[in-house]
Structure 1
Amino acid sequence: MTCCAKDPKSLKTAPVVAAGLIGGWQIARATGIRPIGGVVLAAAGVLAGRSWLARKGPATTAALSAGYLAAFGLSHPLAKRIGAWPSVLVVTSAITAAAHYLGDRN
């Protein structure tokens, strides 16, 4: 039995990455409990990373994982300049595009 219903090679990770960043932020904001948002962020990252590793190997997995974490980290200072929603959307767009082009395409 596996942890997830989908085969890691068939899972499209761009929507998972978007859900992790936007969903994690919204859950943390709605509950006021930041670690809960972090759990969502981490779960999406692990799920996407599992697929990247199965499909593209360790180098691409490392690069996309670093990009995912960088997007999360950069959203905070960017939010002080342009606002929370625009910041989350900008960083999510960037890493989602990277996940699509580097991780999901054949």
Structure 2
Amino acid sequence: MTPSPIPSSVLTAAGLVGGYATARFTGVRPLGGAVLAAAGVAAGRTWVRAGVPQTAALAVIYFGAFGLSHPLAKKIGAWPSVLTAAALAGCASHILADSVVAQDSRG
């Protein structure tokens, strides 16, 4: 299985931001969830190459960031919460997967 040409960190952040934006602007929450899930699956293609522990950790981080953005939004607002969650999950994905896969591909 080849990883996506788009880094998983970008897909992770885009999934959280895009899922929220889709749900907010269309008013269809399941559609936002579909965007979130599709980006997670696409990012997961790279996560799997990094290893099973990394994949499990990143799945928990990704969906945990989604879940925790809701109560955080009550404290700092919706968009700041989503952007914070996206940044943290994207950074984790870069550290735990993208850099590992890039290192392995260099030899």
Normalising by structure 2, report the TM-score.
Answer: 0.88
- How many pairs does the alignment contain? 100
Which protein is richer in helix relative to its size? 2
Q: Counterpart in 2 of 1:67?
A: 61
* Shift >4 Å, 4+ stretches: none
**Structure 1 unaligned regions, length at least 5:** none
Match for residue 45 of structure 1 among 14, 25, 40? 40
How well do the aligned residues superpose, as a CA RMSD in angstroms?
A: 1.4
Please identify, of 44-53 and 69-78, the stretch whose mean Cα deviation from structure 2 is larger.
44-53
2:29 is aligned with 1:34? yes
Preserved CA contact (<8 Å) 2:4 2:43: no
Is the Cα–Cα contact under 8 Å of residues 58 and 93 in structure 2 kept in the other structure?
A: yes
In 1, Cα distance between equivalents of 2:50 and 2:5 = 12
Q: Separation in 1 of the partners of 2:51 and 2:5?
A: 14
1:87-102 correspondence to structure 2 within 5 Å: 87-102=81-96
- Structure 2, unaligned stretches of length 5 or more? none
Q: CA deviation at 1:11?
A: 4.2
TM-score, scaled to structure 1: 0.89
Task: Give identity over the alignment, percent.
Answer: 55
